[in-house]
């Protein structure tokens, strides 16, 4: 039985207004009840919901006030490049303190739609760490028919570029790890397409990153068209876990029943309390 912690993150993107995000969080918390605490040890499964920026406070308040036994927390979907100050419309990392313990950085939709470069991703990593929060760094190739070695090379280079930019912004690898860095491998061709990567590809990326960074304990999640029916394959079995440490889920996390089924698949491989 592996003692590696599993992290499952729901990325709701900009799909729902805050009132519907609160309703969805409530439905998930009610369906799960105290399952996380009953089955897993407090640290064996970490469940994070990432609502829109407007939904973060009401969802976090709901979970903390009404469902403290559910053991669910929130994550932010993105963060500003700026620190606090006269930057209209921005949300600096330090403003998430006390609200969201983790922040997603470098999602492929931001790289694609907002031209977010590795340099910008590195600055955001540094901002998150300086605020005392944990970054979830999204990496992923856009090479639908490449062989595994080419994908590993691409993602290693993307990771190295983000780490180098973070270091230029004052945050080295040791500080990233100490802050609780999690990497999410999200191949662009798998996101929202109904065409997930194989476990073999995701495991190769995870082990490639761990060896490039010389960090065996680096947590690596997979994201891209994960659904309830296939959720168990990403975790393996209690005695033979895959090389992955969890999932970042988009579309399926907008449906309480599908998302809860994914969380139950994760629970099935965690250690009993
Ligand atoms: C995502 O965009 O992070 C994601 C994993 O989306 P989906 O599950 O819908 O492919």
Q: Which residues pair with 228 in a beta bridge?
A: none
Q: For residues 2 and 218, give the distance between their C-alpha atoms in angstroms, rounded to a whole number.
A: 14
pTM above 0.75, yes or no: yes
Q: Which two tokens stand for residue 197?
A: 């990567």
- List the one residue out of 124, 76, 77, 82 whose CA is nearest residue 100: 76
> DSSP string spanning 152-184?
HHHHHHHHHHHHHHHHHTT--HHHHHHTT-EEE
CB 138 within 8 A of CB 108: yes
CB 96 within 8 A of CB 53: no
Please enumerate in sequence order all residues whose Cβ is within 8 A of that of 90, keeping only pairs 6 or more positions apart, or say none. Answer: 80, 81, 82
State the closest ligand 1 atom to the C-alpha of 191, by its place in the atom list counted from 1.
10
Supply the pLDDT for residue 3: 77
Supply the pLDDT for residue 2: 62
Match 């709701």 to its residue by tokens: 12
Please enumerate in sequence order all residues whose Cβ is within 8 A of that of 51, keeping only pairs 6 or more positions apart, or say none. Answer: 12, 16, 18, 21, 25, 59, 74, 77
Name the 3-class secondary structure at 48: strand
Supply the pLDDT for residue 37: 73
Q: For residues 253 and 41, give the distance between their C-alpha atoms in angstroms, rounded to a whole number.
A: 23
CA of 22 to the centre of ligand 1 (A): 20
20 tagged catalytic: no
Q: For residues 124 and 220, give the distance between their C-alpha atoms in angstroms, rounded to a whole number.
A: 19
| Sequential pLDDT tens for the chain (273 residues) | 567 999 999 999 999 999 999 999 999 999 998 777 776 665 689 999 999 999 999 999 999 999 988 889 999 999 999 999 999 999 999 999 999 999 999 999 999 999 999 999 999 999 999 999 999 999 999 998 899 999 999 999 999 999 999 999 999 999 999 999 999 999 999 999 999 999 999 999 999 999 999 999 999 999 999 999 999 999 999 999 999 999 999 999 999 999 999 999 999 998 765
**Ligand 1: residue whose CA is nearest its atom 7:** 250
- List the one residue out of 252, 246, 235 whose CA is nearest residue 43: 246
Domains of the chain: 6-267 (3.20.20.70)
Q: For residues 16 and 12, give the distance between their C-alpha atoms in angstroms, rounded to a whole number.
A: 7
CA of 273 to the centre of ligand 1 (A): 30
Is 226 close to ligand 1, i.e. is its CB under 6 Å away?
yes
């Amino acid at each position: 039985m592996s003692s590696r912690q599993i992290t499952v993150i729901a990325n709701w993107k900009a799909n729902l207004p805050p009132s519907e995000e609160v309703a969805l969080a409530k439905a998930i918390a009610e369906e799960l009840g105290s399952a996380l605490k009953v089955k897993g040890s407090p640290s064996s499964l970490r469940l994070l919901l990432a609502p829109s920026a407007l939904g973060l406070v009401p969802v976090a308040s709901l979970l903390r006030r009404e469902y403290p036994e559910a053991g669910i927390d929130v994550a932010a979907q993105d963060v500003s490049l700026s620190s606090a100050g006269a930057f209209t419309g921005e949300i600096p990392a330090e403003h998430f303190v006390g609200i969201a313990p983790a922040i997603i950085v470098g999602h492929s939709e931001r790289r694609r739609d907002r031209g977010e470069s590795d340099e910008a991703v590195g600055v955001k990593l540094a901002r998150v760490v300086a605020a005392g929060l944990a970054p979830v760094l999204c990496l992923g190739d856009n090479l639908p028919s490449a062989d595994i070695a080419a994908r590993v090379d691409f993602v290693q280079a993307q990771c190295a570029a983000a780490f180098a930019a973070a270091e230029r912004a004052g945050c080295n690898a040791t500080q990233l790890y100490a802050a609780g860095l999690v990497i999410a491998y999200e191949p662009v061709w798998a996101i929202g397409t109904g065409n997930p990567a194989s476990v073999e590809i995701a495991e190769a990326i995870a082990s490639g990153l761990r060896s490039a960074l010389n960090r065996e304990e680096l947590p690596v999640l997979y994201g891209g068209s994960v659904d309830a029916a296939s959720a168990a394959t990403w975790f393996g079995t209690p005695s033979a876990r895959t090389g992955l440490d969890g999932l970042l889920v988009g579309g399926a996390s907008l449906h309480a029943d599908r998302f809860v089924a994914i969380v139950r698949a994760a629970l099935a491989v965690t250690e009993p309390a």
